[in-house]
Amino acid sequence: MKKELQVSAIKNGTVIDHIPPHLLFKVIKLLELEKIKTAITIGNNYTSNKLGVKAIIKIEEKYFEDNEINKIALIIPNVKLSIIKNYEVVDKKVIEVPDKVVGLVECMNPKCITNHEDIVTRFKVTDKKEIDLKCLYCEKITDYNNIEIRK
């Protein structure tokens, strides 16, 4: 069986490929897939030349906005997105980690002003490999393991 057939093809929509399996559920939560009404196919633990095993998410009739895509990049740096139109891959995007993260993430510092007043959080990405986010307000680092998406 050909590798591409591990998950059935979609007509129109987005395929998120090469997701490390341990991050699959985090991605699902992050993208709020439960709110999407179109067909979603989720596959886990497929063989992958690059990762050994991987997860794939295919979402019909869904094209992500930039700020949604930025969320994914924070969780899976350099994740690959394929845009599908009429069964054809019309665009492939490798989503790079952004320089700045605005409004998406909670500051992990409980004494940060952004956790006490209604303020849009702002971070500078100080390390794109490890994903370290430096809060513009309290100047503390929120590291990868402590990234929580704002409600």
Partner 1 sequence: MNNKSFVSINDYSKDEILELMNTASKFEENPNQNLLKDKVVASVFFEPSTRTRLSFETAINRLGGRVIGFTDASSSSVTKGESLKDTIKMLSNYADLIVMRHPLEGAARYASEISDVPVINAGDGANQHPTQTMLDLYSIYKTQGSLDDLNIFMVGDLKYGRTVHSLLMAMADFNPTFNFISPESLKMPRAYTSYLMERGIPYYEHLEFTDILERADVLYMTRVQKERFADVIEYEKVKNVYVLRNAMLEGTKSNLKVLHPLPRVNEIALDVDENEKAYYFEQALNGVYARQAIISKVMDL
- CB nearer to partner 1: give 30 or 141: 141
Mask 109-138, x = binds Zn ion (CB under 5 A)?
Answer: x--x----------------------x-xx
Quick one: CA dihedral 87, 88, 90, 92, positive or negative?
Answer: positive
Q: CB of 143 within 8 A of CB of 127? A: no
How far apart are CB 107 and partner 1 at their closest, in Å?
8
Asked if 118 is part of the footprint of partner 1 (rule: CB under 8 A), the reply reads yes
How far apart are CB 46 and Zn ion at their closest, in Å?
38
HSE-up of residue 128 (Cα within 13 Å, Cβ side) = 10
Token pair for 17: 């490929």
Q: Which residues of 73-87 are buried (b: 16+ CB within 10 A; e: fewer)?
A: bbbbbebebbbbeee
Known binding positions: 107, 112, 135, 138
Give contact residues for partner 1 (rule: CB under 8 A).
Answer: 107, 109, 111-114, 116-119, 135-141
Known binding positions for Zn(2+): 107, 112, 135, 138
